[in-house]
Amino acid sequence: RLRLHDGKLIKDRRYHLRTYPNCFVAKELTDWLVDHKEAPDRETGIRLLQKLMDHYIIHHVCDEHSDYKDAKLLYRFRKDDGTFPLSKDVKVFLRGQSLYEKLVSVEGSVLKVREENSVKYQRTFLGCEMIDWLVQEGEVENRKDAVELGRALLEHGIIQHVSNRHHFFDSELLYQFWINFRRRRRLTELLNENSSRALSESPDSPFCLRKLNPDPGNTSFLSVQTNKEIKIVSAVRRSSITSLTGTSNPYFSPTPVLVFPPVAECNPKSVLKRPVTNEELLSPGAPYIKKTLTIVGDAVGWGFVVRGGRPCHIQAVDPGGPAAAAGMKVCQFVFSVNGMYVLHLDYQTISSLIMTGPRTLVMEVMEAIE
């Protein structure tokens, strides 16, 4: 956006006796993306700009077109007309960017290269030092507010504990900025993002259901509940190397598709005896122990069901599946997935992380001490 302003592609334009401030011509911007190597061809450029529309970053000046057309039509960045939606997520991201820029531009910054357990980490800081700095600079009113800000930054993936084992605390634990805001990003990175929207309507976590008695003409999966009651639900099938190489195999689909028939919702009742909060799980002396499970998925998944959110819990485990073999049990809470802290996420997002990750799944779970 700023480069387009500098290059005068964004400017006031007149159309049908009306002046539209701070807008650009769609066809000219597509040309610019290709000319400046931001897109390899026009088709990719159009897909990129459609992504910006889908994320409410640009829009047609009169909102008459919901898609991006490579034509002589006028579009505008929402930040230029005040219609950019400042959701909580966006506000936290912008706050993190602002703090990062301020920290890297001052002398004697708390951001330093530090070493822990013989491993060097970039852009690190001690939790207590960051809190001191936030209070001294007037970024927050008190240490409690600083801790809340630090926790929000961690939960949005902007900072993290260097070994991803702790939430943010006023302590000498070592943290780092996970996002390097100074790195120049290419617009094409948008096309590599994985979307979890397809999972939002699912009544259960589809990655975990295992196929029983496989039949080439039957795409149903069985989900095992704790009360041994079995209900049918259609689910995603995980691709295999054979399907990707063109070998015909009815048990795999190279492009997973979620299809949920109008059947009774699987696992409607939580197995938890009572709700548990993140604060309760993470409080010092809490009666929970952390376990690391390495689960090697088989042809159709990992064999467990995740439900809930903030924190998520294990709702059901297939007794004959990979998860059960790795030691997974119902009522465990999901702490991390493949090294990513996930206590603050819902089960749809965790589903997406697992579905798009490697077949060998490393999960940290928290289990109540008997």
Give per-residue pLDDT as tens, 297-310.
877 788 888 998 88
* Average pLDDT value for residue range 234-244: 31
Q: How confident is the model at residue 87 (pLDDT cuts 50, 70, 90)?
A: confident
> Which one of 3.30.450.40, 1.10.10.10, 3.40.50.970, 3.40.50.10790 gives the CATH number of domain 88-177?
1.10.10.10
Q: What per-residue confidence (pLDDT) applies to 147?
A: 95
| Residue 13, burial from CB neighbour count under 10 angstroms (0-12, 13-18, 19+) | middle
Q: What per-residue confidence (pLDDT) applies to 357?
A: 78
- Return the bridge partners of 161, or none: 175
25 in Cβ contact with 13 (< 8 Å): yes
The CATH fold assigned to 278-368 is Pdz3 Domain (2.30.42)
Q: How confident is the model at residue 192 (pLDDT cuts 50, 70, 90)?
A: confident
DSSP 228-295: --EEEEE------HHHHTT---TT--SS------S-PPSS-S-S-SS---HHHHHSTT-SEEEEEEEE
* Domain 1-77 and domain 88-177 have a common topology: yes
Alpha-carbon gap, residue 120 to 162, rounded angstroms: 10
Q: How confident is the model at residue 206 (pLDDT cuts 50, 70, 90)?
A: very low
Architecture of the domain made up of 1-77: Orthogonal Bundle (1.10)
Tokens in use for 194?
């994985």
Q: What per-residue confidence (pLDDT) applies to 194?
A: 52
Q: Of 165-174, 226-235, 348-357, where does mean pLDDT reach its minimum?
A: 226-235
Percent of residues, the chain, with pLDDT higher than 90: 45
Tokens 């122990």 sit on residue: 289
Q: What per-residue confidence (pLDDT) applies to 193?
A: 61
Q: Other C-beta atoms within 10 Å of 353: how many? A: 18
Residues 6+ apart with CB under 8 A from 325: 295
245 or 42, which is more confident: 42
Tokens in use for 286?
């809490």
Give per-residue pLDDT as tens, 130-179.
999 999 999 999 999 999 999 999 988 899 999 888 999 999 999 999 88
Q: What per-residue confidence (pLDDT) applies to 171?
A: 94
Q: Other C-beta atoms within 10 Å of 185: how many? A: 9
User: Cα dist. 121→51, 111, 129 in Å?
Assistant: 33, 11, 16
Q: What per-residue confidence (pLDDT) applies to 106?
A: 85
Q: What per-residue confidence (pLDDT) applies to 180?
A: 82
Domain residue ranges in the chain: 1-77, 88-177, 278-368
